[in-house]
Structure 1
Amino acid sequence: MRAARDNVGRLRQRIFKAAQAGDHKRVRNLQKLMLRSHSNTLLGVERVTELNAGRATAGVDGEVALTDEARADLVARVPREAATWQPLPVKRMYIPKAGAGHKLRPLGIPVIFDRVLQARVKNALEPEWEARFEIRSYGFRPGRGCHDAIEAIFNTLHGRGARRLWILDADLTAAFDRIDHSQLLAALGSFPGRETTRQWLKAGVFEPGKGFAPTEEGTPQGGVISPVLLNVALHGLEQAAGVRYRTSTARSTWALATSPVLVRYADDFVVACHSQQQAEQVKARLAQWLAVRGLALNEDKTSITHADRGFDFLGFNIRRYPNGKLLIKPSTAAITRIRKRLREVFQKMRGATVLALIQTLNPIISGWAAYYRAAVSSGVFSLLDDYVWKLALKWATRRHRNKPKKWIADRYFGRFHPHRKDRWVLGDRDSGVYLLKFSWTRIVRHQLVTGGSSPDDPALADYWARRRRKHKPPLGRYAVFQLQRQHGRCPICGDYLLHADHAPTSTEEWEQWFRVTRKAISKHSLKIAGGAEPGTPDRDRLHLVHTRCRRSASPRGGIGPALLRA
């Protein structure tokens, strides 16, 4: 798979370079080559059936591909059936909407074969648009994420010299569901996968209990290619807002002194303006531009405010103080949600063992802390640790109502962490597993991606290599050290140990990342060849390996999950 990944990566770079040079004919020829690539098919199957969090969710045909035999069958089917395949309707599902109480977010789940084809088309389409996308667009793009958007806002608003202090905080109404198909297809132009994309858009929706419904607008949230299509549909938003640059290169950007600055993450964006009047004008222009594309501002969630009063964006509260200092913290709503989540877990697991409780809570704590570690979160982390400790003590006391407090403390709490002197850590004395704390996650300032840099740009290979080395995953010291020693690769298959469908972009996705990583990566003792001197004995050394590789190798030495304690 490593060879396939390298092949696809090189072809993506060639598409990017041709698009950057304006060589339209070469772009189309390379995209056709990508759509025929066997390596692209292999990566598409891997992404859909192994890396994607929804790999076990079936479409309307009820099929999934979770075994090696089923994956091999998918790989063989693609060249035979792709040209004549008629996309099937997506299956409508509903999941809780983050930060919206009991509201549900609709998802459209394509069948597994359509997902593989979409992953292939995405690799052909995305690098062309990566060479064209706006510089301060950060959502659903390789090498970019929520923290880049937050850091871009910080750079715009901090300091005494900041002038764009009126904020248009905008949100689009059901953006995925309302994209105009004709406008989107026109933007794709002569892209070789355009007709297939049109068929996906028009495939319709099947909702259990309600039946089939045609789709005349929108792209289903849940499709592999949908995030890229949303970015294509919203390309040009900066220009519509009146953003103008003095210079614009892959490495640096400077907005004109009188220009507003727009920072977008998917369908959420903010525009920093010089005055309230300018913000009102920008809002009116954007409303007109969006209407042509079938989209509209959500008036309930769109507001104009001054940076001194603060505003929430992507789960963070951003507020500027009169001395020019800008503080970015977890929002009050985000703190309320995590407290509620923790409280519900303790309530639901009243009769569970302490080990089961810890195994449920650790990914939640790790995921939330990983997302907010780039903000001013130390105080919030400490407050949440106190809150969890009170919940844990209450949980333990309820289990043993007739036991004295000292007995409960000795049974459930202690100095479980080998490198910390904290004596009040909840743990399981039989297994040694213990509950993590928010405050154990180090605060790390995020480094903003430079200008319009893209991982698909071959000229910036060194930049992205340095950036990957600096951005360490939020794991334990041993895991980080071992990953560095192994250059991030599994010694058995040679492929990268840590990859995901995309970089986690929310506390929920970080939680999922921790759960998946714990299952996917294991410690394994491998035989290391002796030294150069004759007679030097071979020796065993622990490595991090893919769990699937460990199963296929000799079982000797496998000792379980390595990256997380619980």
Structure 2
Amino acid sequence: MTAHAFALAMAALDVNGPEDDPAGWDAIDWRTCEDNVRRLRQRIFAASRDGDLKKVRNLQKLMLRSRSNAVVAVRRVTERNAGRRTAGVDRQVVVTGEQKAELADWIQNDAKPWTPLPVKRVYVPKSNGRRRGLGIPVIADRALQALTVNALEPEWEARFEPKSYGFRPGRGCHDAIVAIHTTSSRTDAKRLWVLDADLAAAFDRLDHDHICRSLGWFPGRGLVRQWLKAGVVEDGRFTPTGEGAPQGGVISPLLMNVALHGMEVAAGVRYHVTGTRAGKTMDGCPVVVRYADDLIALCHSREQAEQVKAALAGWLAPRGLVFNEDKTRITHLTEGVDFLGFNIRRYPNGKLLTKPSNDAVRRIRRRLSVEVRALRGSNADAMIGKLNPIINGWCAYYRIGVSKRVFNALDAHAWKLVYKWARFTHANKPRRWVVARYFGEFNSSRRDRWVFGSRETGYYLRKFAWTPIVRHRMVAGTASPDDPTLTDYWTRRRRRSNLPVDITTQRLLRAQHGRCPICRDLLLHADHEPRSPREWEQWLTATRRAVRRHAVTVWGAGTPDERVANRLIHTHCHRRTTSNGSPALPPTREPPGLA
């Protein structure tokens, strides 16, 4: 089907509807589909780990033809991704269940032959005030890329190096930070020299030929090459792409990891393979911690750091990549280094502390000031509704560091801002009146009478310091969710995770084993762990919309008495069941969970 034909088919949905049953999308058993995809990913992982390349290719072909994979891919790009309502150059978005069912049917039956369309160039602000260019594929290409990722990713998950943490399932920024801290936190630590490296425009300079050679005989390699060569449309002008992968593509982060696989070997990192120290870095070797295109090399001396830099520069060249010399430096940990928004520094007393970086603190202070200034003329509820998600997201990201003092300082800054806002709003009122109206013990669980809130609604502004500092448990070695031998490990890790949600929600998540009792699918989803305060902010906001707490009546055992119990359910599951006239939840004493 051509791109034009696909656009016509999508446009005709409002008139004719899909060829299949219009209610088919809502009737899909998502638990079964997700399990089918998960098991097939695990089989690909196991075959890749065993070196059975023929079996890997056969299983990948099966994954690319899988109906379960097709609907899961469509669900990912139309329901879970943050940019699900962003259109590409064809101006198509997929919103209704009928459109989603049609797209999944097209992927499975009619997508071949398919010529990818160019990506749409858009710009988003960066933390330093500059703009980052993103390439937004059309929704059909995004769905096909999600389908392809499920076939390609588990093969490479079995190969990827242990200290690669960016854009990988089960790994994130916090793992990278803890890896650095673990390496250099001991008082007798030897690796105290740091190569803090930045790659210049990495996504825009990736060499296409190198990526395609790395993929070997992957069944979808031709489509991957077409995505890389699809071109860019900006302000109505088409530009061909001879290098790079569009930031904004579903498959682009995976291709970046494929291109940079082998960096540890190139830097001279070696691991013990036998004995009690198996998996540990050999003495005398550097340690390289990488998050996508950001990397830190911990070395024994400045000379070793210079050698690592020279070795990596030669290794990066065939991949089309170079160091950004303005941002790449060699320093000692006593001077401190900023990585992923944290400052990691060894102090004279021998302690290594991980704190929010000064730049990160300046950015959040500036953002709070800008937001409060923009809300002049609004009411307290609007102020609280705007600032609380920002505070929650920032605290969720930085709660693993030594952040309490910074949290207190930010609370003082936020208090001054809202107090000035209140004085501006009621310029003719005395200070005592303003304080009595907007400040008090709004949070009944905190003995704090200086909480900003609304007397009319009872809503109040959260404080940074209310966030408890937690110790992040780093992912073990090369562990991957696709490894079928580590199912119990990942189940325990998920249950023990300290998500930045309220205590009641945490308790319900554990009681339900993270599953919705209606569709039996996972309640919380993320392709990858949020990698910045803004992404945590978006994830928490999306979670509040997607999951709701629902009270149900549960019969007591053998008695006519009833009690009310809370359950967490998907918002769309609740909406669907109540619209059908059926009870939102079955009466059951124990919440259904994992088998």
With the length of structure 1 as denominator, give the TM-score of the two structures: 0.95
Is the 1:249–1:452 contact (alpha carbons within 8 Å) kept by the matching residues of 2?
A: no
Structure 2 counterparts to residues 27-176 of structure 1, below 5 A: 27-98=56-127, 100-101=128-129, 103-176=130-203
Is the 2:272–2:278 contact (alpha carbons within 8 Å) kept by the matching residues of 1?
A: no
Is the 1:170–1:302 contact (alpha carbons within 8 Å) kept by the matching residues of 2?
A: yes
Q: 1:326 aligns with which of 343, 349, 352?
A: 352
Is the 1:233–1:293 contact (alpha carbons within 8 Å) kept by the matching residues of 2?
A: yes
Q: Which amino acid aligns with 2:201?
A: A
For residues 400 and 27 of structure 1, the distance between their equivalents in structure 2, rounded to whole angstroms, comes to 69
Is the 1:490–1:546 contact (alpha carbons within 8 Å) kept by the matching residues of 2?
A: yes
Which residue of the partner structure matches residue 562 of structure 1? none
Structure 2 counterparts to residues 196-235 of structure 1, below 5 A: 196-209=223-236, 211-235=237-261
Which residue of the partner structure matches residue 500 of structure 1? 526
Is the 1:251–1:450 contact (alpha carbons within 8 Å) kept by the matching residues of 2?
A: no
For residues 436 and 95 of structure 2, the distance between their equivalents in structure 1, rounded to whole angstroms, comes to 44
Which residue of the partner structure matches residue 563 of structure 1? none
Is the 1:251–1:451 contact (alpha carbons within 8 Å) kept by the matching residues of 2?
A: no
Q: Which amino acid aligns with 1:31?
A: Q
In structure 2, the CA distance between the partners of 1:329 and 1:524, relative to structure 1 (3 Å rule), is same
Note the aligned Cα RMSD (angstroms): 1.6
Any idea what SS the aligned residue of 1:245 has? coil
Q: Bigger CA drift: 126-135 or 74-83?
A: 74-83
What does the per-residue CA deviation read over 1:23-50, in whole Å, with 9 as the maximum and x for residues that have no partner? 1111111111110111111110111001
Q: How far does residue 472 in structure 1 lie from its aligned partner after superposition?
A: 2.3
Q: Which amino acid aligns with 2:177?
A: I
Which residue of the partner structure matches residue 552 of structure 1? 576
Q: Which amino acid aligns with 1:402?
A: N
For residues 547 and 147 of structure 1, the distance between their equivalents in structure 2, rounded to whole angstroms, comes to 29
For residues 385 and 553 of structure 1, the distance between their equivalents in structure 2, rounded to whole angstroms, comes to 43
Is the 1:13–1:127 contact (alpha carbons within 8 Å) kept by the matching residues of 2?
A: yes
Which residue of the partner structure matches residue 362 of structure 2? 336
Which residue of the partner structure matches residue 239 of structure 1? 265
What does the per-residue CA deviation read over 1:185-220, in whole Å, with 9 as the maximum and x for residues that have no partner? 0000011110110110011111124x0010110110
Any idea what SS the aligned residue of 2:514 has? coil
Q: How far does residue 118 in structure 1 lie from its aligned partner after superposition?
A: 0.2
What does the per-residue CA deviation read over 1:399-422, in whole Å, with 9 as the maximum and x for residues that have no partner? 001111121112111111121111
Any idea what SS the aligned residue of 2:479 has? coil
Q: Bigger CA drift: 227-236 or 237-246?
A: 237-246
Q: Which amino acid aligns with 1:461?
A: T
Is the 1:17–1:457 contact (alpha carbons within 8 Å) kept by the matching residues of 2?
A: yes
For residues 545 and 55 of structure 1, the distance between their equivalents in structure 2, rounded to whole angstroms, comes to 22
What does the per-residue CA deviation read over 1:40-89, in whole Å, with 9 as the maximum and x for residues that have no partner? 11110111001000001000000111221211111111122222111000
Q: Bigger CA drift: 197-206 or 248-257?
A: 248-257
2:283 maps to 1:296: no
Which residue of the partner structure matches residue 556 of structure 2? 531
Q: How far does residue 539 in structure 1 lie from its aligned partner after superposition?
A: 4.4
Q: Which amino acid aligns with 1:61?
A: D
Is the 1:250–1:452 contact (alpha carbons within 8 Å) kept by the matching residues of 2?
A: no
Which residue of the partner structure matches residue 471 of structure 1? 497
For residues 276 and 250 of structure 2, the distance between their equivalents in structure 1, rounded to whole angstroms, comes to 27
Q: How far does residue 541 in structure 1 lie from its aligned partner after superposition?
A: 2.7
For residues 413 and 493 of structure 1, the distance between their equivalents in structure 2, rounded to whole angstroms, comes to 43
In structure 2, the CA distance between the partners of 1:336 and 1:195, relative to structure 1 (3 Å rule), is same
What does the per-residue CA deviation read over 1:445-464, in whole Å, with 9 as the maximum and x for residues that have no partner? 11111111111111111111
2:35 maps to 1:10: no
Unaligned runs of 5+ in 1: 559-566
Structure 2 counterparts to residues 410-429 of structure 1, below 5 A: 410-429=436-455
For residues 431 and 550 of structure 1, the distance between their equivalents in structure 2, rounded to whole angstroms, comes to 26
Is the 1:169–1:304 contact (alpha carbons within 8 Å) kept by the matching residues of 2?
A: yes
For residues 491 and 11 of structure 1, the distance between their equivalents in structure 2, rounded to whole angstroms, comes to 24
In structure 2, the CA distance between the partners of 1:95 and 1:80, relative to structure 1 (3 Å rule), is same
Q: Which amino acid aligns with 2:62?
A: L
Is the 2:180–2:289 contact (alpha carbons within 8 Å) kept by the matching residues of 1?
A: yes
What does the per-residue CA deviation read over 1:226-279, in whole Å, with 9 as the maximum and x for residues that have no partner? 000000000011111111112279995211211111000000001111111111
With the length of structure 2 as denominator, give the TM-score of the two structures: 0.91
Any idea what SS the aligned residue of 1:255 has? coil
